[in-house]
Structure 1
Amino acid sequence: MKKTLEIIIPIYNEIECLDELMTQLLALRPKVSENISFLFVNDGSVDGSGDVLNQYVGQHSLMKVIHLSRNFGHQFALTAGFDHSDGDYVGVIDADLQDPPEIMLEMLSLMKKESLDIVYAQRIERKGESVFKKCTAHLFYSMIRKFTKIDIPENTGDCRLINKKTLLAFKTLRERHRFIRGLIPWIGFKSKAFQFSRDERYAGQTKYPFFKMLELSMDAMFSFSRAPLKIANVIGFLSVLCGFVLAIYTLLAHFLWKVTVPGYTTIILVILILSGIQLLILGILGEYIGRIFEESKHRPLYIVDVIHDSTLSE
């Protein structure tokens, strides 16, 4: 019986890319011995992407479209795809064609050749990205590696290929604040990078502007590290230490040197600085407490509206 390579593609308002994406995906099928199936997750698109995907299901074999009830976000759409996957090999690509579909076949070849559990796509060139984007990405990965115990390789995204063993392990991870490119390395199975040059987006606009990337970065930091709490402790200790030093200096100046330290401006500055530090630490604590509150609700990670599954066979 043929093994199956299942490719998950999350979709959110990507109608401009769909025809070219479908052409490149279908071109993969004659090139390998495995059956290749496609699992699209429509994450609440409002540009007609869902209707186009439904047409594809009626025209092509081994294809499934999961329509979520609303836009839950990229990481939840990917989770829905993994949850509904049962392939022997499961890959992830985005619809913008920056990660070309043909690399899935090269990653599959590498996985089988070296008996790997995970192959992740690592960009050696990032075409069309600004210097600011490249610098912030480098800073992000540097901080993640420094402050967490998870080795997340630099210049990797969600594009990767996993085997069934990794898929089953991933399905057990149900936390709400999800950073999938950290969760899969956390599993710890045998992995290796596949290096490639990343293309520019085929069409449309990025769905990960700066503030969404910042939110994803916070999810990564708060989900995989207690470093913010440790930093808050250090800041609090240093604040107390500075307070003691200032108090000792004031007492010595008054009793030994008979000098009264002029202080209205100094007092105001100290109050403002300490108040800012307290608010910062409260914000860090609040972020962790808020995440605990979200997890305690036990709400589903996403809601499926309808599933269209091709009944045609190869």
Structure 2
Amino acid sequence: MTTRERLTIVVAACNEQDALPLLHPRIRAGLDGVPGLDGRVLYVDDGSSDATWARMQQLAAGDPAVAALRLARNFGKEAALTAGLDLVGEGAVLILDADGQDPPELIPEFVALWRQGYDDVYGTRLARAGEGWAKRVTAAAFYRVIGRLSKTPIPADTGDFRLLSARALAALRQLRERQRFMKGLFGWVGFRRVALPYHREPRMAGRTKFGFWKLWNFALEGITSFSTAPLRVATYLGLVTAASAFAFAVWVVGKAALYGDRVAGWPTMMAVILFLGGVQLIALGLIGEYLGRLYVEAKQRPLYLVDTWQPADVALSGASASKGERHADRSTVARDQVP
């Protein structure tokens, strides 16, 4: 009997009750279109306040290859993705957004590259339909900035839409940092990587959960997680400021010695004071960002907590857990979480 290759689609969702019923048939069609593939789907509810969990339960009831995981509260997309990846015990995994912008119809192409021996097949966006020019411009700028600042390879215009082999997934599970920037973690793992260009589609239903303020904080998270360049910039800015202040002091002393000491104007004095104060506050803010991340890491809290784990009828992880078993009291370290 020939052993079939296993691929699990992990979909993390928060308040996507309208999108999931539209997305699942597309995922199912994509999996069924690949011969010799044991396709599974794992939905993760990241503390939704609408009927998202009920939709996931309905999908699991109607498809024996579907499993569902509900977190205790909203822990954020990165933690929800981590929870889903932790529960994939065998085979490869493909990460898919719940809004349908990343087309499941490309599953056969991802699998074809995976079968060629690639460990990380990542989708690179050629176009971002349904998004305003401001978001497109800022997103492009972010990827290029972090690409220059970080030593970790982070491909431009590339999100979480990717397929990871079993060994890449096993390596990713070893990275348990609390401040998680998944795009950087994927790049840090390494192994054989290849891009799959595609056109991103408009959102199928609902509204985006990422406004500009969340995107700004997300960008800050990524830069501070994978680069110390901002601290170095603060150091250089301090050196330049100190050198400028010294040169200005020499000029003031020389002018007083040659032409006499006249009282400088109040606007000039205030401008210098405010400039130096601003530079100091920027430097302290950068130090605070990194110190805050050390503080979070030092507490060693779990990445997430599970409310309900509903395994697939075909035993997603090969376990004997009963349908609807609750694990709210379990630790959430990956190796101990799989039931």
TM-based fold match above 0.5:
yes
CA–CA distance in 2 between the matches of 1:142 and 1:261? 48
> In the comparison of the two structures, how many residue pairs are matched?
313
Map of 2:122 onto structure 1? 120
1:91-145 Cα deviation digits (max 9, x unpaired):
00011110011212211111212x1111000111111111111111111011111
Map of 2:234 onto structure 1? 232
Shift of residue 258, structure 1, vs aligned partner: 2.2
Kindly report which structure 2 residues correspond to 1:1-150, keeping only aligned pairs within 5 A, or say none: 1-32=3-34, 33-113=36-116, 115-150=117-152
Asked if structure 2 preserves the Cα contact closer than 8 Å seen for 1:7 and 1:92, the reply is: yes
Kindly report which structure 2 residues correspond to 1:209-220, keeping only aligned pairs within 5 A, or say none: 209-220=211-222
CA–CA distance in 2 between the matches of 1:157 and 1:224? 16
CA–CA distance in 1 between the matches of 2:46 and 2:162? 20
SS at match of 2:285: helix
SS at match of 1:237: helix
CA–CA distance in 2 between the matches of 1:240 and 1:313? 64
CA–CA distance in 1 between the matches of 2:162 and 2:187? 11
Map of 2:306 onto structure 1? 304
SS at match of 2:19: helix
Kindly provide the amino acid, as one letter, of the partner of residue 184 in structure 1: F
1:251-301 Cα deviation digits (max 9, x unpaired):
000112225252322111111111111111111111111110000000001
Q: In the alignment, does 2:169 pair up with 1:175?
A: no
Asked if structure 2 preserves the Cα contact closer than 8 Å seen for 1:57 and 1:63, the reply is: yes
Kindly provide the amino acid, as one letter, of the partner of residue 75 in structure 1: E
Which segment drifts farther, 53-62 or 236-245? Answer: 53-62
CA–CA distance in 2 between the matches of 1:274 and 1:54? 58
CA–CA distance in 2 between the matches of 1:313 and 1:224? 37
Inter-CA distance 85–313: structure 2 relative to 1 (3 Å threshold): closer
CA–CA distance in 1 between the matches of 2:263 and 2:242? 20
Map of 1:291 onto structure 2? 293
SS at match of 2:289: helix
Kindly provide the amino acid, as one letter, of the partner of residue 85 in structure 1: V
2:256 maps to which of 254, 257, 262: 254
SS at match of 1:7: strand
Alignment gaps of 5+ in structure 1 = none
Asked if structure 2 preserves the Cα contact closer than 8 Å seen for 1:98 and 1:202, the reply is: yes
SS at match of 2:53: helix
1:47-75 Cα deviation digits (max 9, x unpaired):
11101111221221121111000011111
SS at match of 2:198: strand
Which segment drifts farther, 66-75 or 142-151? Answer: 142-151
Instruction: Work out the percentage of aligned pairs sharing the same amino acid.
Output: 37
Map of 2:208 onto structure 1? 206
Alignment gaps of 5+ in structure 2 = 317-339
Kindly provide the amino acid, as one letter, of the partner of residue 279 in structure 1: L
1:272 maps to which of 261, 266, 274: 274
CA–CA distance in 1 between the matches of 2:309 and 2:96? 20
Inter-CA distance 243–185: structure 2 relative to 1 (3 Å threshold): same
- Any runs of at least 4 consecutive aligned residues in structure 1 with deviations exceeding 6 A, and if so which? none
CA–CA distance in 1 between the matches of 2:198 and 2:105? 11
CA–CA distance in 1 between the matches of 2:213 and 2:81? 20
Shift of residue 153, structure 1, vs aligned partner: 1.3
CA–CA distance in 2 between the matches of 1:161 and 1:239? 47
CA-based RMSD of the aligned residues comes to 1.3
Kindly provide the amino acid, as one letter, of the partner of residue 242 in structure 1: S
Kindly provide the amino acid, as one letter, of the partner of residue 160 in structure 1: R
Which segment drifts farther, 61-70 or 26-35? Answer: 26-35
SS at match of 2:48: coil
Give the TM-score normalised by the residue count of structure 2: 0.90
Asked if structure 2 preserves the Cα contact closer than 8 Å seen for 1:38 and 1:64, the reply is: yes
Map of 1:221 onto structure 2? 223
Asked if structure 2 preserves the Cα contact closer than 8 Å seen for 1:60 and 1:312, the reply is: no
Kindly provide the amino acid, as one letter, of the partner of residue 105 in structure 1: P
SS at match of 2:104: coil
Asked if structure 1 preserves the Cα contact closer than 8 Å seen for 2:31 and 2:108, the reply is: no
